[in-house]
Amino acid sequence: MPLPRDVAPMLATTGPLPADGDHWSYEVKWDGVRALVSVRAGQVTLRSRNGNDITGAYPELLGLGEALGSTSALLDGEVVAFDAAGRPDFGLLQSRMHVRSPAPSLVRSTPVTLLLFDVLQVDDQPLVDASYDERRAVLEALPLTGERWQVPPSFPGDGEAVLAATLAQGMEGVVAKRRDSRYTPGRRSDCWVKVKHVHRTSAVVVGWKPGDGGRAGRIGSLLLAVPEGDGWAFAGHVGTGFSDATLRLLGERLEPLRRDTPALDGVPREHARHAVWVEPVLVVECDYTEWTRDGRLRHPSYKGLRPDADPREVVRE
């Protein structure tokens, strides 16, 4: 049985810790790029959440094929860049996410690690209908400990303790996974629940406002939206969190996406004035304090691009 190529990863909902904690297991929420990893006859292929082949971007992960030897597997995980303190750093990962064939110097200066937390198939045995506990036992039995890949621990039962530990270590939060649940490819399931310390959401860029002063001639802020029905709902604008390199990158990505009219209605006049409109295809990640009553992000701060995300699958976290 060949390993499937058109599988999309299972997605989590956002919420509080489950009340029936004994039925759940808890994992650290890793701040990286989701990847489905196919290993067959020693050959490794990584695909992003939206199905793009990202294998060439992470050459240090190709040794996973040799580690598994003759075993074929379809694995689910996260590509992460760690900072000097050993914490996932999404900003650091940005320097790797947008380079299809990185130079050896970049790989050495900013190495990534593949954290594997689920398995969908091993050799001829599909596992999507197996329970989380059963899949976890199979995953932990595979030879998946290496310099650039590993299986991070899972903690059954005490979600409060795991959540407190991640807060103390400066992590983003935890993912609670129901122990008797199957793997549902491509679906956002309430059997996986993200519990975050930091409010973070994805949003779609629908335009940008020119800057002034030190940003004259460049992007001043991004105009954001989230899907609503068959269209888009305005979600506010973000003008902080940008480095000079980020502004250059965003300018390069947005320039070919220009359009004459906005892709949505309801943009307030103060934001629509002088706006440069773009096709709603670029997804960004922002931290924020709360959603306002009129559906806008309060005090958002730009964190990075999400090239692995489908704009129509963005949800209002």
Token code pair at residue 281: 């295809």
- Selecting among 29, 177, 196, 303, the annotated active-site residue is 29
- Looking at residue 2, its pLDDT comes to 61
Give the three-class secondary structure for 63. Answer: coil
The whole-number pLDDT of residue 182 equals 97
DSSP H helical segments within the chain, as ranges? Answer: 64-68, 90-97, 104-109, 132-141, 159-168, 244-254, 269-272
Q: Return residue ranges of the chain for CATH 2.40.50.140.
A: 200-313
**Cα 291 from chain centroid?**
21
The pLDDT value recorded for residue 67 is 93
| pLDDT beneath 70: ranges in the chain | 1-3
pLDDT of residue 218: 85
Distance of CA 139 to CAs 69, 117, 164, Å?
15, 8, 26
Predicted pLDDT of residue 231: 94
Superfamily the domain 11-196 falls into = DNA ligase/mRNA capping enzyme (3.30.470.30)
pTM here is 0.76
200-313, CATH topology level: OB fold (Dihydrolipoamide Acetyltransferase, E2P) (2.40.50)
Domain ranges in the chain with CATH number 3.30.470.30: 11-196
Beta strands in the chain (DSSP E): 11-14, 24-28, 33-40, 43-48, 73-80, 113-122, 125-126, 149-150, 155-156, 173-178, 188-196, 200-210, 219-228, 231-238, 258-259, 276-287, 290-291, 297-298, 301-305
Mark whether 29 is an active-site residue: yes
Q: So what's the pLDDT on residue 227?
A: 95
Task: Determine the pLDDT at residue 215.
Answer: 80
